[in-house]
């Protein structure tokens, strides 16, 4: 994260970050972590849409696409709890023209995710990550990139 132009976007809820922690990044990369939590649709709206989870993830992708810090050539790493929503966000960003979208395989808390890979965590502190209020993966273990469609996955490499 510190040697290349990567930006990590944590889409987990504030509650999940408080419970599990946040990724420990080198001090030179701490400004490259942005928090844009998934927002739950209002209950009235949930009954009107076909795929609530997909709509919620696509709304986050739309927010990410308008960030001033990134452009369509930026290296964007999406992190969620178990990588299910991150996949939808990365695919949506790719459809919007972003060329380098990554996810952390198994997210932060999954069996092959950030925690289990022992990549280091810090306790959640609002001042650490830039938090934007509601309204492909990089191998830390040095593994090669595995590709599935236009979404790149690491460490695990399965979609």
What is the CATH code of the structural domain delimited by 6-154?
3.40.250.10
Residues 6+ apart with CB under 8 A from 67: 34, 132
Residues 6+ apart with CB under 8 A from 89: 11, 57, 58, 60, 61, 64, 78, 80, 101, 103
For residue 152, pLDDT over 90 is answered with no
Q: Where are the domains of the chain?
A: 6-154
- pLDDT single digits (tens) 85-131: 999 999 999 999 999 999 999 999 988 888 788 777 777 765 444 44
- pLDDT single digits (tens) 54-71: 999 999 999 999 999 999
- pLDDT single digits (tens) 22-57: 888 888 887 899 999 999 999 999 999 999 999 999
Query: Which band of pLDDT confidence, cut at 50, 70 and 90, is reported for residue 140?
Result: very low
Report the b/e string of 74-100 with b at 16+ CB within 10 A.
bbbbbbbbbbebbbbbbbbbbeeebeb
Q: What pLDDT score was predicted for residue 157?
A: 44
For residue 150, pLDDT over 90 is answered with no
Q: What pLDDT score was predicted for residue 1?
A: 53
């Amino acid at each position: 994260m510190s040697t290349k132009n990567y930006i990590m976007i944590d889409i987990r809820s504030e509650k999940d970050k408080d419970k599990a922690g946040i990724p420990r990044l080198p001090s030179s990369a701490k400004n490259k972590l942005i928090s844009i939590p998934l927002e739950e649709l209002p209950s009235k709206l949930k009954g009107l849409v076909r795929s609530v989870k997909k709509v919620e993830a696509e709304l986050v992708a739309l927010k990410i696409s308008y960030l001033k810090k990134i452009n369509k050539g930026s290296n964007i790493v999406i992190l969620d709890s178990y990588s299910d929503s991150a996949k939808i966000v990365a695919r949506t960003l790719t459809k919007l023209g972003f060329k380098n979208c990554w996810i952390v395989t198994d997210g932060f808390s999954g069996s092959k995710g950030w925690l289990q890979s022992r990549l280091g965590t810090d306790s959640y502190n609002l001042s650490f990550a830039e938090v934007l209020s509601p309204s492909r993966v990089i191998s830390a273990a040095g593994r090669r990139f595995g590709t599935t469609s236009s979404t790149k996955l690491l460490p695990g490499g399965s979609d």
